[in-house]
Amino acid sequence: MDESLWPDTGSARYFHEGDLYYPPRLMSHENLDDYTPGGFHHIMLGDGFSQGRYRIVHKLGYGGFSTTWLARDQHKNILVALKALRASASVETDTVDYTIRDVVIPQKLHSALPTSDLFRPVHDSFVEGPNGLHRFLIHPFAGPSLYSILMDNFGKQVQLRLDLARKVAKQTASAIYEMHRVGFVHGDLTTSNILFRVIDPILGWSDAEVYHYLGAPRTDELRTTSGDPYGPHVPRELVEPVNHLRFFKQTLLLQENIVVIDFGQSYEVASPPKIYQPGTKMNYTSSETLFDDRAGVEADVWALGCAIYEICTGYHFFAMLSGDRDEILSEIFQTLGKPPDTWWKTFEEEWTELTRCPVHSRVSLAADAIYNAPAHVENALPITEVPKVRMDEKEVDLLADLLEKMIRYRPGKRITMEEVINHPWFDM
């Protein structure tokens, strides 16, 4: 790493008294406090797992429960994604079984839908480390998420090409329809859990090709503030994830097809889990979950409606800044109006008047905002719409009609997934 590019003074802005480590000189990295017993397994470039079968090539990302890496399956000489779960989330307990679902549900879907390409197969293994026993999930390598281009593009407005938005929305809807048809609830559909597929030749890339197209890994040595050794629980160095924009700026790296992932909240309709705590992002959470703490296939329809709006406009359907429950309820009330009396009685004194912005208005206003947004030359990507193209009124009407039927207070009043995939908006 070129130290001249990242002087020590540059990281001092993020240092707080009492921190155990100096801030790594990287643009993005996981929380160092997660490297502790029960937390993350420390992984470094070149590490091998499963008797050396999987060798770490690059880093793809991280979250609260895992780090995800690009690895080479040295038996097949292809690239795979390796998701390393924190130890506390790796073994089933009375309150933690979502990691088991993330293995079992894809396997069951593959058995029930052997010809479907909307889901990734998965297999798992266990790795013992200083922080505990970790479950590793191995998937075929896929590209970045829809969220990463729509919502994580350095604050600049991005819109998929209108034809591609409909195609991606239809594929996503088809995935949820297929899950419901064979008896499964997804439970956590967001644009973060919808990935673009990479073109097949990428799976056979050499390490040199990975670094040429996706950039060489950037690393920084971990340094303790005390000067003492950092112990066995943390890695010697941290790795910055691949910049997702490298996928989008290369015309031929991605297919215009998607896969749906993350089944930690999924379950079989016929045998729901005894303990189920919905974990969907607040602005995707259905009314019955917010008010009654329950979910089902109808909650998937609600979440899909929110995702479709996001896919088409680049905006959240229910916007949130603080993440506060009341903030989301206000958005829902403004969009759908007064909820059923059993729910409304809790809030009627707090919200005596509602400023309405119905579904059709939201779609129309988003179309206007996209048209009027400043054009950023650097945002001109093969999958994005050219500047100053507005969704026509017929599409606005049809999209609003679809969303109005999917996002309703009463679960029983929402259309089914079969009705969703047969809606005329998809055929424009």
Quick: pLDDT tens for 92-140: 655 445 567 888 899 999 999 999 999 999 988 889 999 999 999 999 9
Same domain flag for 149 and 120: no
Domain membership of residue 193 (yes or no) is yes
The CATH number of residue 376's host domain is 1.10.510.10
Domain membership of residue 32 (yes or no) is yes
Domain membership of residue 214 (yes or no) is yes
Report pLDDT for 382.
75
Domain membership of residue 177 (yes or no) is yes
Report pLDDT for 373.
74
Phi and psi at residue 288, to the nearest 5°: -70, -30
The pair of three-digit structure tokens given for residue 407, joined into one six-digit string? 């996002």
Residue 331 pLDDT greater than 80, yes or no: yes
- Summarize the confidence of residues 221-250 as an average pLDDT: 86
Same domain flag for 189 and 227: no
Residue 177 pLDDT greater than 50, yes or no: yes
The CATH number of residue 11's host domain is 3.30.200.20
Same domain flag for 239 and 336: no
List CB contacts of 339: < 8 A, sequence separation 6 or more.
287, 291, 332, 333, 409
Same domain flag for 182 and 307: yes
Contact (Cβ atoms closer than 8 angstroms) between residue 422 and residue 404: no
- Summarize the confidence of residues 305-334 as an average pLDDT: 89
Contact (Cβ atoms closer than 8 angstroms) between residue 163 and residue 312: no
- Summarize the confidence of residues 179-185 as an average pLDDT: 97
When pLDDT is cut at 50, 70 and 90, the band that residue 7 belongs to is very low
Same domain flag for 193 and 77: no
Report pLDDT for 149.
80
Average pLDDT in the chain: 87
Residue 238 pLDDT greater than 90, yes or no: yes
Domain membership of residue 248 (yes or no) is no
List CB contacts of 313: < 8 A, sequence separation 6 or more.
159, 363, 366, 367, 369, 370
Same domain flag for 189 and 205: no
Report pLDDT for 325.
82
Flag the least confident range among 182-186, 257-261, 387-391, 411-415.
387-391
User: Containing H/E element for 72?
Assistant: strand 66-73
When pLDDT is cut at 50, 70 and 90, the band that residue 11 belongs to is very low
Same domain flag for 284 and 315: yes
The pair of three-digit structure tokens given for residue 54, joined into one six-digit string? 């999987």
The highest-confidence range among 63-67, 151-155, 195-199, 275-279, by mean pLDDT, is: 195-199
CB atoms within 10 A of CB 118: 19
159-168 pLDDT, tens digit each: 888 999 999 9
List CB contacts of 361: < 8 A, sequence separation 6 or more.
none
Residue 413 among known ligand-binding residues:
no
Same domain flag for 62 and 115: yes
| Domain closes at, from 190, 220, 243 | 243
Structural domain for 60, as ranges? 1-141+201-243
The pair of three-digit structure tokens given for residue 116, joined into one six-digit string? 């479907």
Choose among 280, 254, 121: nearest CA to 193.
280
Residue 141 pLDDT greater than 90, yes or no: yes
Flag the least confident range among 292-301, 355-364, 384-393, 414-423.
384-393
Domain membership of residue 390 (yes or no) is yes
Domain membership of residue 6 (yes or no) is yes
Report pLDDT for 390.
84
Question: What domain count does the chain have?
Answer: 2
Choose among 379, 378, 145: nearest CA to 244.
145
Contact (Cβ atoms closer than 8 angstroms) between residue 131 and residue 35: yes
Contact (Cβ atoms closer than 8 angstroms) between residue 68 and residue 80: no
Choose among 304, 312, 302: nearest CA to 335.
302
| Domain closes at, from 188, 212, 243 | 243
Same domain flag for 190 and 212: no
d(CA 40, CA 21): 16
The highest-confidence range among 26-30, 141-145, 175-179, 369-373, by mean pLDDT, is: 175-179
d(CA 167, CA 170): 5
Same domain flag for 55 and 104: yes
Say which amino acid occupies 290. L
362-399 pLDDT, tens digit each: 999 999 888 887 765 555 667 777 777 789 999 999 99
| Domain closes at, from 243, 266, 298 | 243
Residue 151 pLDDT greater than 80, yes or no: no
Between helix 162-181 and helix 297-313 the angle, nearest 10°, is: 170
> How far, in whole angstroms, is CA 402 from its chain's centroid?
23
Domain membership of residue 187 (yes or no) is yes
Same domain flag for 149 and 136: no
Same domain flag for 237 and 183: no
- Summarize the confidence of residues 12-38 as an average pLDDT: 81
